[in-house]
Amino acid sequence: MKDISKLEQNIGVKFKDKEVLTQAIVHRSYINEHPEFKLDHNERLEFLGDAVLELIVTEYLYNNFPNPEGDLTNWRASLVNGSNLAKVSKDIGIDDFLMMSKGESKDSNSKARQYILANAIEAIIGAIYLDRGLEASKKFITDYILSGLKEIIAQKLYIDAKSNFQEKAQEKMGVTPIYKVLESSGPDHAKIFKIGVYLDKELVATGVGTSKQEAQTEAAKKALKNKNWNN
């Protein structure tokens, strides 16, 4: 069993019910290897945490920025997407506490691990909400997720790479990019897609993601870099 008090220190929240926090770090694969484990995996908590995160981020953006809906939507997407949540999860050190199968534990740098990390932070938000309420959830999200908004806006990380690449491709070459699934793997609840972006018959770049949209966005980002169209 993981030392849950250290995780409490990392996230800055003291739990009344330690088992709720413990469940937030239990991946489905751990239950498959340890069917006698008394707690469930974290997917229900993740479902709850996803909704809490979306609400709090939306409320914050609405209350603090007079920008049009399009800007707020793009900023929110940049804050709550899997890549950003996985980064926050690693920064907090959640990776050290995840309870997974031996196979999943070895695969520390894969796209699947990023997916697990992103889901874990949503599950932790769900656990905080259940155990400590909305205000504690809001503080956690403000401290660890909304704190990244300044950088996202300053570096324009919110700009949709697919739209940007399409605009540049049409402007410079008169063609529209085409995205094709090159590979897909993994179980239904944790699919990984590899997608290529083409200009005519030229494969410009590939991207990997836990959804087709995420993989397409990753491919578009790489394509912009490969074509030197970032500026």
Task: Tell me which of 50, 104, 214, 218 is the catalytic residue.
Answer: 50
Q: What CATH code is carried by the domain that includes residue 168? A: 3.30.160.20
Residue 39 near residue 26, CB atoms below 8 Å: yes
Per-residue pLDDT of the chain (231 residues; tens, 9 = 90+): 568 999 999 999 999 999 999 999 999 999 999 999 999 999 999 999 999 999 999 999 999 999 999 899 989 999 998 889 999 999 999 999 999 988 777 766 677 888 899 999 999 999 999 999 999 999 999 999 999 999 988 877 787 889 889 989 999 999 999 999 999 988 877 788 999 999 999 999 999 988 898 899 999 989 999 999 876
Same domain for 175 and 133, yes or no, is no
Question: Would residue 133 count as lying in a domain?
Answer: yes
Angle (CA) 108-112-117 rounded to 5° is 70
Q: Say whether 59 counts as a known binding-site residue.
A: no
* 3-state DSSP helix/strand/coil % of the chain, to nearest 5: 65, 10, 25
Instruction: Give the active site residue among 104, 122, 131, 214.
Output: 122
Please indicate, yes or no, whether residues 119 and 173 belong to a single structural domain of this protein.
no
Asked if residue 231 belongs to a domain, the reply is: no
Mark whether 84 and 171 lie in a shared domain. no
- Asked if 142 and 29 sit in the same domain, the reply is yes
Identify whether 50 is a catalytic site residue: yes
